[in-house]
Structure 1
Amino acid sequence: MSQKTLRICILENGVTPDDLIDQFGSYPMMIENWLAPFFPEATFTYLSLVQGEALPAPQAFDGYILSGSKYSTYERSPWMLALIEFLLQLREERCPVFGICFGHQIMADAYGGLNAKSAAGWGVGAQQYEYETPELPGCAAAFVFHQDQVQQRPPEARRIGGSSHCKNGVLAYSFPAISVQYHPEFTPEYTQALARKFRGGLLPEAVSLRALDSIDSLPVDPSPVAKWVAEFFRTHLGTKHGNR
């Protein structure tokens, strides 16, 4: 029996810097390249909210992935407000959604939590994350690039992972939604490129140097997270389709 094709929409909330996009691709491309090998029954569509494309009807796709962004959720730009309303619709319709970095943060805001700039400062490079779920390794490194964090978890969210720098780093909700503060789609080369590009400007010199050292010393395997995310969509969409 052939598998049912699952239609996944990746919502682009930020764009790769102009001088890096030819080499590394867009954020939706990075996400698809990371996830697709573990999710062969999925087809991916990209919609760029940050570049003015309209949100679809919630039922237009089987599930959604929210990319990262250089913007902060508390800026509350019109497209962010529209995304928050859309996330509430997805919860109402129990449509699966997975958020990355900015996506993790705006999901927390939409669902009753609070994202804000963290007193812990920038997290850049590779960090060790610890997990509290059997679906993921007990401890594994991940690539990060953020200074905002989820300060208060939403009422329906439970913490299932985090780092010493970011406590609320991985959240799972009581409805079909999961999110991570880190970037499972980033490669070592792209994370290094960001640390070098913003060194001495956006990022203090010491932050960039620590980031580059961490990338060299902490190996990152993004495949367990990809398997977890693929199984999340499979499980919820299998239930959803089975009820039709």
Structure 2
Amino acid sequence: MDNGHSMTCPIAIVKTGETFPEINRRFGDFERWIRDGLGTKDVDVIVVDPRNEAAMPDPAVLAGIVVSGSHAMLSDDTGWMRSLAVWLRQAVSRRIPLLGICFGHQILAQAMAGSVEDRVCGAELGTVEVSLTSAAIDDPLFGNLTPTFPAQVVHWQSVVELPERAIVLAHSPLEPYQAIRVGDCAWGVQFHPEMSEAVMHSYIDVLAESVAVNEAVGRTVRQALKDTPVARRILLNFLDYAERDRAANGQDRPFRRLRRT
């Protein structure tokens, strides 16, 4: 029964990994950050884990899909990654609105015949300045953003070859493909719109303790950290697009939302 607080179809958060335990204890995990980034508690969201392949729903029953980041590497080429790539291709072919974040961006690109490799210069970590391309002006997710904006990044691999139909929407000094669109309604962002400045501080702490980031680099990166409100808007824009897409296709409006402030 409709209680006035549900969607006809849910948004699926595809959880491809977990954050570090000490970060989880303070801030929760990837799916919580994404859910919070959607900006309202009045959205029907399900969390599915592709590492349990039996848990993956038919993409056709979903209003939209957000694929999380992960500490896993695509070069691991595991069975669940291959299965997820097939599932993502099905979602794209059915025109289900889709947003891949970091690892999600990379596996979307690879699933659509792009390629991903280790970064030659090592990890990129901290707050970077992202610049939009001219193609972003009329894009549903990027068209209302400022031409440049800060965003949080933490990744060891990058997309190095784009899918044939991909359009570059944003880049940064060390990352030519910070944001792409594949077809009409699938996006990938290498940066983390869901990640706060406080979470990034904690990532630097954890990685410094594991010697993945040396003290001097960690200090420099920490000093450059800042809040990233424009990047966070990507998740709200995606939610709006998913709602408009279903309405435009003659389907029930999927969201009954609280008023945003």
Scaled by the length of structure 1, the TM-score of the pair is: 0.90
Spell out, residue by residue over 1:107-149, the C-alpha distance to the aligned partner (whole angstroms, 9 max, x if none): 0000011111111321111000001223121000000001211
Matched, 1:22 2:25: yes
1:36–1:42 contact (8 Å) kept in structure 2: no
Matches of 2:217 and 2:6, distance apart in 1 = 46
Match of 1:168 among 166, 177, 196: 177
Aligned residue in 2 for 1:208: 218
Higher RCO (CA < 8 A, seq sep 6+):
2
Matches of 1:63 and 1:198, distance apart in 2 = 33
Aligned residue in 2 for 1:192: 201
Q: Percent identity?
A: 22
Matches of 2:199 and 2:185, distance apart in 1 = 30
Q: In the alignment, residue 220 of structure 1 is paired with which amino acid?
A: T
Spell out, residue by residue over 1:144-200, the C-alpha distance to the aligned partner (whole angstroms, 9 max, x if none): 001211101111110010101111010012232011001111111111001011115
Classify the secondary structure of the residue corresponding to 2:26.
Answer: helix
Matches of 1:162 and 1:24, distance apart in 2 = 28
Classify the secondary structure of the residue corresponding to 1:175.
Answer: coil
Matched, 1:78 2:86: no
Shift of 1:242: 4.3
Aligned residue in 1 for 2:237: 228
Classify the secondary structure of the residue corresponding to 1:199.
Answer: helix
Where does the alignment leave 5 or more consecutive residues of structure 1 unmatched? none
Aligned residue in 2 for 1:178: 187
Q: In the alignment, residue 164 of structure 1 is paired with which amino acid?
A: P
Matches of 2:152 and 2:54, distance apart in 1 = 28
Classify the secondary structure of the residue corresponding to 1:112.
Answer: coil
Matched, 1:93 2:101: no
My pick for the range that moved more, 22-31 or 98-107, is 22-31
1:124–1:207 contact (8 Å) kept in structure 2: no
2:63–2:243 contact (8 Å) kept in structure 1: no
Classify the secondary structure of the residue corresponding to 2:127.
Answer: strand
Matches of 1:45 and 1:34, distance apart in 2 = 15
1:47–1:53 contact (8 Å) kept in structure 2: no
Aligned residue in 1 for 2:258: none
Spell out, residue by residue over 1:82-103, the C-alpha distance to the aligned partner (whole angstroms, 9 max, x if none): 1001011112211111000000
Matches of 2:154 and 2:56, distance apart in 1 = 26
Spell out, residue by residue over 1:221-240, the C-alpha distance to the aligned partner (whole angstroms, 9 max, x if none): 14432332223322322233
Matches of 2:86 and 2:26, distance apart in 1 = 34
Scaled by the length of structure 2, the TM-score of the pair is: 0.84
My pick for the range that moved more, 233-242 or 181-190, is 233-242
1:125–1:210 contact (8 Å) kept in structure 2: no
2:37–2:236 contact (8 Å) kept in structure 1: no
Aligned residue in 2 for 1:47: 48
Q: How many residues align?
A: 238
Aligned residue in 1 for 2:158: 149
Matches of 1:145 and 1:99, distance apart in 2 = 15
Aligned residue in 1 for 2:246: 237
Q: In the alignment, residue 81 of structure 1 is paired with which amino acid?
A: R
Aligned residue in 2 for 1:33: 36
Spell out, residue by residue over 1:23-69, the C-alpha distance to the aligned partner (whole angstroms, 9 max, x if none): 111101110001133xx663111112246662111123221110000
